[in-house]
Copies of this chain bind each other. A is one copy, B any other.
């Protein structure tokens, strides 16, 4: 992808840059802002801020709220909020579910459909047709009011971000699938979702609590525990996708070169110790055991389960310490089934990171867990589409 030489900035560049700034400022704020607030936060004059806000309001990107009289002196402010009628569709296919979720620019879930099902080894065309029907159904509902800014599709595997193809999704058993094309055929008119890796998109929901609103952590390594282990590095609030979009494959970092073989063709991958299937197999439990059950057995003193958890923690410690050493990240966030196992995993993991991370003496890495609603990838896919609107609001203003 050759990066353009960069083009000269003209007056209109100034305007669009400032429109984006104003929109981002309102989105990033904790509560509604007035035009005067926007002026202060952007460092512009009230005149300029008002002009920009008016333009965004006219385009529906910002809403003026009811001016509820505040207990303050002075003329009451007109509260500004991100436009509630701008929305985006987030879709997700996973080994265990199909999900469609509609978010508005305020980050609220307008509508959603989640269908749990075992999709391992399923037929891509049939599964994607089901997802398309789900999404079409969703859009026919209360979503009719929304202006769709775009759609995204979270996939559990290697996605070619240039050509928009799913190269390989080991957990689904899919290879070289034109997921977008198969899906788009079952979506309204010209809606083509942008595909992305599930872990990358789920990580985005941690970095961003709503479109343009930064979450509590801006630099961390996200781990998405599925059947395997996906991951994403977030630096400065941005998900690192890598030069081809294949970054974050933490699950295949080698923990022990002499370890067990992995589906990927390598040996001793992290996934073979801390992936859900591997962990349950090592613990001698059926593969559909719930994480809570695992934790319960461990605290009840089941030696096999404890040994399996311990091995998983050790493997995670070795692999993540390497990643943290290379990327200098202050935190590791456990998601997916790993979040549910955070109780027993966290203490040994933090201890290992403290020992194996070179800079731990100056800043000890923190391990956190996020347990949000299911199908975080769908939310992230919608956030991504809405992020495009924030990055270039002029395109939406027509």
Contacts and interface: CB of A to CB of B under 8 A. Distances in A.
A243 B254 contact: no
A314 interface: yes
A233 interface: yes
Nearest to A322: B253
Nearest to A7: B43
B6 A24 contact: yes
Given A14-B11, A245-B328, A323-B326, A358 B318 contact: no
Contact of A8 (B44, B323, B327): B44
Contacts of A248: 326, 328
A326 B362 contact: no
A162 to B, nearest CB: 11
A304 interface: no
A98 interface: no
Contacts of A28: 5
Interface stretch (A57-65, A140-148, A234-242, A338-346): A234-242
Nearest to A8: B44
B359 A254 contact: no
Contacts of A167: 359, 362
Given A7-B42, A17-B9, A325 B249 contact: yes
Interface in A88-126: none
Interface residues of A, number: 70
Contact of A330 (B41, B244, B255, B266): B244
Given A219-B243, A327-B247, A255 B257 contact: yes
Pick the most buried of A44, A255, A325: most chain B CB atoms within 10 A of its CB.
A325
27 contacts: A6-B21, A6-B42, A7-B42, A7-B43, A8-B43, A9-B14, A11-B14, A13-B14, A167-B359, A233-B327, A235-B242, A235-B243, A240-B327, A241-B328, A243-B329, A244-B328, A244-B330, A246-B358, A246-B359, A247-B326, A248-B326, A252-B325, A254-B318, A254-B321, A256-B256, A266-B355, A323-B326
Closest 6 CB pairs of A and B: A242-B328, A8-B44, A247-B328, A253-B322, A249-B325, A7-B43
